[in-house]
């Protein structure tokens, strides 16, 4: 995937997928603006991007704060002048459990961390994206397709993100901005090992995939890079599942 000469904003640069998104776009030739709440980890990933020969603007920010998003967009504009791709991987995972056990505060935090954070940043960046055949890639979750027991609010907001893609695609199409989503299945990682504390549950989940394995963070990042590239110039309002055949409809 060739993204030479393009500027990509990656929001939600954490361990696992966030890091892989940044490195995948850098290796494809893009210069990057990186956003995350954890400034120390942000610095680590930015160093890896620079080691790959690309520029990396570090922007620690809470994306649920529209004012912080505006500040970030201003700095990105000053540094790069325009934005070609926005990849939104930032999320908030609410407590597991029955919906009946969740409070209004749980709901507000989930919506703010998963949906509002995406629209906050997107609309602040939009003046830098209009008319450039730019692309937005939102990261959803297999929870939107097959809710895990107890995933409750998280599954609901990740499902809402898939409708958000369609709404944004229609709204931003006249500005020559495409909007799509990648929907990862279970991503092989240390965190997944902890999630499947019971070996039997992990084995059952593996057996439920067509390929007999879980996907890697790099495989998901490669699809995000495709959706953000000129190769997907005619693709908007779509969701692409990357889950080794864990789910398909």
123 an active-site residue?
A: no
The H-assigned helical ranges of the chain are 17-27, 39-51, 66-80, 104-111, 117-129, 152-172, 190-195, 199-207, 217-228
Strands 7-11 and 31-36: parallel
Catalytic residue of the set 41, 80, 123, 154? 154
CB atoms inside a 10 Å sphere around CB 227: 25
Q: Which residues pair with 136 in a beta bridge?
A: 86, 179
Cα separation, 173 vs 150, in Å, equals 36
What DSSP character marks residue 144? G
Q: How far apart are CA 206 and CA 200, in angstroms?
A: 10
> What's the order of all strands across the beta sheet hosting 56-60?
56-60, 31-36, 7-11, 85-88, 134-139, 177-184, 239-242
Question: Under a CB-based contact definition with an 8 Å cutoff, are residues 204 and 177 in contact?
Answer: no
In whole angstroms, give the CA distance from residue 49 to residue 57: 10
> Would you please indicate which residues are annotated as catalytic (active-site) residues?
154
């Amino acid at each position: 995937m060739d993204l030479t000469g393009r500027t990509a904003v990656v929001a939600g640069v954490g361990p696992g997928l966030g890091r892989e998104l940044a490195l995948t776009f850098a290796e494809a030739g893009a210069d990057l603006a990186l956003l995350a709440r954890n400034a120390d980890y942000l610095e680590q990933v930015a160093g890896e991007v620079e080691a790959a020969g690309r520029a990396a603007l570090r922007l620690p920010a809470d994306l649920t704060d529209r004012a912080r998003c505006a500040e970030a967009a201003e700095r990105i504009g000053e540094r790069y002048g325009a934005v070609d791709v926005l990849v939104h991987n930032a999320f908030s995972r609410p407590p597991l459990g029955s919906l009946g056990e969740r409070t209004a505060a749980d709901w507000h935090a989930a919506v703010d961390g998963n949906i509002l954070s995406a629209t906050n940043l997107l609309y602040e960046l939009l003046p830098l994206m209009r008319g450039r055949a730019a692309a937005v890639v939102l990261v959803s979750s297999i929870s939107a397709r097959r809710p895990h027991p107890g995933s409750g609010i998280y599954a609901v907001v990740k499902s809402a993100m898939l409708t958000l893609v369609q709404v944004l695609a229609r709204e931003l199409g006249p500005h020559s901005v495409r909007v799509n989503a990648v929907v990862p299945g279970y991503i092989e990682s240390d965190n997944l090992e902890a999630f499947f504390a019971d070996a039997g549950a992990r084995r059952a989940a593996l057996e439920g995939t067509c390929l007999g394995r879980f996907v890697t963070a790099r495989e998901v990042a490669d699809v995000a890079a495709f959706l953000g590239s000129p190769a997907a110039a005619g693709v908007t309002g779509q969701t692409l599942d990357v889950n080794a055949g864990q789910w398909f409809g």
